[in-house]
Structure 1
């Protein structure tokens, strides 16, 4: 192993870049839908050994000496994000005649930009690099900090954070209720990188002990949480989740809108199967209503006729303000709650929009070059001001998140703090049967665990599901299936720790690894001197 690691350390030039790229791409197999987390015990040790050799000339300034470390981390990140996000380009092929030109931007440009975060991570790690276990702590701190920044900078895009690789099943998700994603990302990189110690054998026994303790604690805590008897049920909601599997090629086709709407009504109105109660809540996916209610008020009457006494529909719609089709109209990607009288009882607009997909940043500048939003849709959206919970007929509070809003841990935790249910409506049909919908669902699943709340998820083509507060899938519909889920959803749990405490714990974990890295770095420099 020493000889193998030595050969990696001595790589230079394009060979070093290629191996870093391949190591990053390999790590994607730890994410959904593959969930082969063992590959990270290869990818991250390889990254450690590459960084062992990422040294500049002694005569160079400190910035120039960090260039090899940045390049190594950037190539690792480029491989990771290219292999993990290539499916974004699928959305541009729905209307290929109009948007195929943007494929390089989506498939290569986004990974190119995100890779800078991992380049930053390895630069931070290299500042405190040592020849022992201290460098493992430094890398964990660097990645923990980079993943946190990826969540908050430039509107944020924390997709496929490294910590999800350590949570492929509910048994291994429970620790996030204590550490939060900040701590989970940091701990995951530390654990995955520890096998790098077998090369030099310094602190090998300590590393093996820490690996065993952390893995045992991770698994043991999950087992205890899942084995614990559920709290007594205090309240519940009977829900029907509709998955219409509408072809996006027809989504905004005026000639088939009535058929799409009839499909939604038909699935919603079906009598429940034997043994299931009549649903109190019916849930439709993101932008499922194929027209504006301002243009088709008869649709509200049809929904009211479909709903029985005491039932409520929560549906994803495009909501218009400012008049029907006027130049000054504003459009929102929204969910609306419709009561059994066919009245809109509440509405919540999407707050965190997708850049270039739902709105065009610097629209005036891009329009000069003939660039519009890069995903086909009826219009550009405006962002909502705030999110609030929707009150259901039985008094429960459901807080809705539209599409990728659910991937932001802090956003969900803050807004769901006083809610009883998490609702996620999405339309992942843009991405077909690729890894994208499965990755999206996994992140939503982890939000349920973090917050100790049931998750009700409706997707146009999947993955629609009911997830319990421990992340276990109660029922689900496969990608591209058409149908409905009927489920009795008890509501009795709360988060194991508050969002604030999880955030503090995560930052403390990151700080612990930072201090450990500094201590080992100072110790090594004192020895050398």
Structure 2
């Protein structure tokens, strides 16, 4: 019993990891994120780095086990994997991503012994978001799911997103939780931490009322088409004609709209296969009605290359090829090992080519727009670097791969952050949901019911101007965080070597 009690924090860690998941959509208990962060920081500050890494790993198992369990659906239900292989691969992914909270725990345990209240807090918050950034942007092409800032889309901290982006919001959330822990550990820290906490949360509340961009023209009417084609028969040759007829019929009911948008790979055939019989007549019809179509379909490139593409039809026909591909879904990293494993498990996955960074913006409704396909909308810098010349953001997605799970809701929440960061309307057409319109403040304005064949129409205002985050970018934010950390370290060192000045950054115990 004593041995079990000695591991009480490790036993509780997965539960608090799952609690953090509840802060995200569709549960939306946003402030549960603070409770989870308070717990894990409290524990890490009392542990050795190795023990903190273990606690962090178990915390990560709870977080990702409850947060990305839907991977099983894509592998088993639609990928063709047997149940054992699907469970094994899902468990492997959860285990790999749990290594990142373990790394965070190790780093924070290292810094928790530093002198200086704010040096400890800032170092820990920087460590948290730095590890998130590495996981979300670099490793295996990036997997930013369940980054803490996305849970705050409806709290006052969302007001900071147009200034410092998703990682800046995550930093402020972590800093807030860690400051609360320092207060709980020693009430002497109240006077040092409380004013900062009040400034952060009241400042975020105020910033939510600030408009960083402005209207760039008259409103345009957009119709989003949700075909609700089952993923299990989407690519069946026997269903292709029915699918093409469905999208054509739904579109013909909305020729009075300025722009009509279909989901990712709504056309289940290569462009060359449907160009003459389907695309060209659509192009002609759109031109005659003064409307423009934005459709998703695969297309061929040079040699054996093929792309996940978006095509505009109407006044300015053009193509965009997806640039940020999904690992293990649209390309196979770690070759030849990953290909050999998937072949053994008999799980078929695609291998698309990258479209490239220098593609011109597509245009519809008289305005250029940033195009994102599927999970491209979860990368803030990808959208931000193109937004200056764009009036709005378009996302084409097919989340049918994950069934009736939390994934479509989590994905929409991340898309909402892109609208908030850039001060643009975002329109999102999906195969089964969540299809909807998002305002420049990140609010989900209108949503189609999930798993329903339907259309959704609304008016948006093209916007111009850039937010501070668009100018700063994620790399600029981390440069600022590095300078803040160095400054805090310098102040702590200065206080330590000048006893008369210790009160400047006192940790509440008479020391620096």
Tell me, in whole angstroms, the C-alpha distance in 1 between the residues paired with 2:38 and 2:87.
Answer: 31
Specify the alignment match of 1:58 in structure 2. none
Gaps of 5+ in 1: 1-9, 56-65, 273-277, 323-327
Equivalent residue in structure 1 for 2:419, among 445, 448, 451: 448
Tell me, in whole angstroms, the C-alpha distance in 2 between the residues paired with 1:213 and 1:362.
Answer: 46
Is contact 2:307-2:355 (8 Å) kept? yes
Cα 1:305–1:375 change in 2 (3 A) is farther
Following superposition, the deviation at residue 239 of structure 1 comes to 1.3
In the alignment, does 2:26 pair up with 1:33? yes
Residue correspondence of structure 1 range 342-491 to structure 2 within 5 A? 345-369=317-341, 371=343, 379-386=350-357, 388-392=359-363, 394-491=365-462
Is contact 1:129-1:521 (8 Å) kept? no
Following superposition, the deviation at residue 232 of structure 1 comes to 5.1
Following superposition, the deviation at residue 306 of structure 1 comes to 4.3
Count of matched residue positions in the alignment of Structure 1 and Structure 2 = 492
Specify the alignment match of 2:230 in structure 1. 247
How big is each residue's C-alpha offset from its partner over 1:306-344, in whole Å with a ceiling of 9 and x where there is no partner?
A: 42433221111011235xxxxx5322111111227xxx8
Equivalent residue in structure 2 for 1:179, among 156, 164, 184: 164
Following superposition, the deviation at residue 207 of structure 1 comes to 2.1
Cα 1:199–1:172 change in 2 (3 A) is closer
Cα 1:465–1:368 change in 2 (3 A) is closer
Following superposition, the deviation at residue 13 of structure 1 comes to 5.8
In the alignment, does 2:248 pair up with 1:299? no
In the alignment, does 2:305 pair up with 1:330? yes
Is contact 1:356-1:373 (8 Å) kept? no
Cα 1:232–1:354 change in 2 (3 A) is closer
In the alignment, does 2:202 pair up with 1:216? yes
Tell me, in whole angstroms, the C-alpha distance in 2 between the residues paired with 1:374 and 1:522.
Answer: 62
Specify the alignment match of 1:61 in structure 2. none
Tell me, in whole angstroms, the C-alpha distance in 2 between the residues paired with 1:208 and 1:82.
Answer: 34
Q: Secondary structure at the match of 1:360?
A: coil
RMSD: 3.0
Following superposition, the deviation at residue 27 of structure 1 comes to 1.1
Q: Secondary structure at the match of 2:273?
A: coil
In the alignment, does 2:179 pair up with 1:194? yes
Q: Secondary structure at the match of 1:30?
A: coil
Cα 1:394–1:369 change in 2 (3 A) is closer
In the alignment, does 2:59 pair up with 1:87? no
Tell me, in whole angstroms, the C-alpha distance in 2 between the residues paired with 1:373 and 1:285.
Answer: 30
Tell me, in whole angstroms, the C-alpha distance in 1 between the residues paired with 2:228 and 2:6.
Answer: 48
How big is each residue's C-alpha offset from its partner over 1:445-499, in whole Å with a ceiling of 9 and x where there is no partner?
A: 1101111111111110111112122222332212212211222221134332252
Following superposition, the deviation at residue 18 of structure 1 comes to 2.0
Specify the alignment match of 1:151 in structure 2. 136
Cα 1:176–1:103 change in 2 (3 A) is same
TM-score norm. by structure 2 comes to 0.87
Specify the alignment match of 2:210 in structure 1. 225
Is contact 2:308-2:352 (8 Å) kept? yes
Is contact 2:421-2:469 (8 Å) kept? no
Following superposition, the deviation at residue 523 of structure 1 comes to 6.5
Specify the alignment match of 1:285 in structure 2. 263
Cα 1:329–1:43 change in 2 (3 A) is same
Tell me, in whole angstroms, the C-alpha distance in 2 between the residues paired with 1:499 and 1:205.
Answer: 35
Cα 1:516–1:320 change in 2 (3 A) is same
Is contact 2:320-2:362 (8 Å) kept? no
Following superposition, the deviation at residue 116 of structure 1 comes to 2.2
Tell me, in whole angstroms, the C-alpha distance in 2 between the residues paired with 1:96 and 1:496.
Answer: 40
Equivalent residue in structure 2 for 1:259, among 242, 245, 256: 242
Specify the alignment match of 2:149 in structure 1. 163
Equivalent residue in structure 2 for 1:492, among 463, 473, 477: 463
Tell me, in whole angstroms, the C-alpha distance in 2 between the residues paired with 1:370 and 1:179.
Answer: 40
In the alignment, does 2:298 pair up with 1:318? yes
Following superposition, the deviation at residue 271 of structure 1 comes to 4.4
Segment of structure 1 superposing worse, 288-297 or 504-513: 504-513
In the alignment, does 2:104 pair up with 1:121? yes
Following superposition, the deviation at residue 123 of structure 1 comes to 2.4
Q: Secondary structure at the match of 2:446?
A: strand
